[in-house]
């Protein structure tokens, strides 16, 4: 994702790439990571030093659950607006980021998924959840994804639950002959199943069950390019924010996703 984001920003006519950070690549020209011409931008291992020296407007983070929280805090303290696609932060960490962004009056976008189709999938699932209380989510990702369930699956379950009102899912009798066979129950009977396999990119099915019928809403990202229009949109929108927003739908759909 970092390499794909570098390419997207480099090609964008209204956004300027001014720095790159990677603690593992060594101090090389960013063009090497993009498989393009020499850019004159040297990749540096120290985020804090890059932000202090270059003083960019925005930091885009696609790193790991172990480092993302500290990266965001470093950026906000220096007045740099984070656009974050890394998932795996705890609820306490997200709340702290929200408080810091509000205190520093600095815009921040944290999005579990930047694919426009995935946002529509969540929007449609939230609407369907008003009429189909029984639902399970299957999310499928490549074998290098380290956190489970995905942020997209968690966000989808949250939106469905918010829109349910007084609906209660029909209780299903579960006898697991193999622990975990029924997935993880997130809230109010919404179960999430995580699949990790080589050959996959990012896929999710939301399956609703009702009397004599089922409804399946599915989204597939076949390449990382699918996330780039959303990343660039968030970069443009974050300049107008003075607080943290969670989920790209908050800046795409007027008023967010109605629930």
Domain count of the chain?
Answer: 2
Q: Is residue 26 part of a domain?
A: yes
Q: Alpha-carbon distance 15 to 3, whole Å?
A: 16
- Which residue among the candidates 44, 141, 155, 203 is catalytic per the annotation? 141
**Domain enclosing residue 144, as ranges:** 116-169+180-222
Considering the domain architecture, whether residues 106 and 135 belong to the same structural domain is answered as no
Q: Is residue 175 part of a domain?
A: no
- What confidence tens digit (pLDDT) does each residue in 2-59 have? 999 999 999 998 999 999 999 888 889 999 998 888 899 999 999 999 999 999 999 9
- Which residue among the candidates 98, 100, 145, 237 is catalytic per the annotation? 145
Considering the domain architecture, whether residues 151 and 125 belong to the same structural domain is answered as yes
Catalytic, 188? Answer no
Q: What CATH number has the domain bearing residue 21?
A: 3.40.50.720
Considering the domain architecture, whether residues 11 and 135 belong to the same structural domain is answered as no
Q: Is residue 8 part of a domain?
A: yes
Q: Is residue 69 part of a domain?
A: yes
Considering the domain architecture, whether residues 245 and 231 belong to the same structural domain is answered as yes
Q: Is residue 133 part of a domain?
A: yes
Considering the domain architecture, whether residues 201 and 140 belong to the same structural domain is answered as yes
The Cβ of residue 26 has, within 10 Å, a number of other Cβ atoms equal to 11
Considering the domain architecture, whether residues 185 and 147 belong to the same structural domain is answered as yes
Q: What CATH number has the domain bearing residue 200?
A: 3.30.360.10
Considering the domain architecture, whether residues 158 and 203 belong to the same structural domain is answered as yes
Q: Alpha-carbon distance 76 to 98, whole Å?
A: 10
* Token output for 154: 């968690």
CA angle (191, 196, 202) in 5-degree steps: 85
pLDDT, tens digit only, all 259 positions of the chain: 899 999 999 999 899 999 999 988 888 999 999 888 889 999 999 999 999 999 999 999 999 999 999 999 999 999 999 999 998 899 999 999 999 999 999 999 999 889 999 999 999 999 999 999 899 999 999 999 988 999 899 999 999 998 876 656 666 767 888 888 888 888 778 999 999 999 999 999 999 999 999 999 999 999 999 999 999 999 999 999 999 999 888 888 755 554 4
What does the DSSP assignment read for the chain?
-HHHHHHHHHH-TT-----EE-TTT-S-BHHHHHTSS--SPBEES-HHHHHHHH--SEEEE---TTTHHHHHHHHHHTTPEEEE------HHHHHHHHHHHHHHT--EEE-S---HHHHHHHHHHHHHTTT--EEEEEEEE-TT--SSS-HHHHHHHHHHHHH-TT--PPP-----SSTTTT-EEEETTEEEEEEE-TT--EEEEEEEEETTEEEEEEEEE-SGGGGHHHHHHHHHHHTT-SSEEESTHHHHSTTSS--
Catalytic, 145? Answer yes
């Amino acid at each position: 994702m970092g390499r794909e984001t570098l390419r997207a920003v480099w090609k964008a006519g209204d956004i300027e790439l001014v720095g790159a950070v990677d603690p593992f690549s060594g101090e090389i020209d960013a063009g090497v990571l993009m498989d393009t011409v020499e850019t004159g931008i040297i990749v540096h291992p120290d985020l804090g030093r890059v932000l202090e020296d270059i003083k960019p407007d925005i930091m885009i983070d696609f790193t790991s659950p172990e480092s993302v929280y500290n990266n965001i805090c470093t950026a906000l303290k220096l007045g740099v607006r984070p656009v974050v696609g890394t998932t795996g932060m705890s609820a306490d960490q997200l709340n702290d980021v929200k408080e810091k962004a509000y205190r520093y009056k600095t815009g921040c976008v944290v999005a579990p998924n930047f694919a426009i189709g995935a946002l529509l999938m969540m929007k449609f699932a939230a609407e369907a959840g008003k009429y189909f209380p029984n639902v399970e989510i299957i999310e499928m990702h490549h074998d290098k994804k380290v956190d489970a369930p995905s942020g997209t699956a968690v966000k989808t379950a949250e939106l469905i639950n918010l829109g349910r009102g007084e609906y209660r899912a029909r209780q299903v009798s579960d006898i697991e002959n193999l622990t975990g066979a029924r997935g993880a129950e997130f809230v109010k009977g919404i179960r999430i199943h995580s699949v990790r396999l080589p050959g996959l990119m990012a896929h999710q099915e939301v399956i609703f069950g009702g009397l004599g019928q089922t409804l399946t809403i599915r989204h597939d990202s076949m390449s990382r390019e699918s996330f780039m229009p959303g990343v660039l949109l968030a970069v443009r929108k974050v300049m107008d924010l003075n607080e943290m927003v969670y989920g790209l739908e908050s800046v795409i759909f007027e008023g967010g996703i109605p629930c």
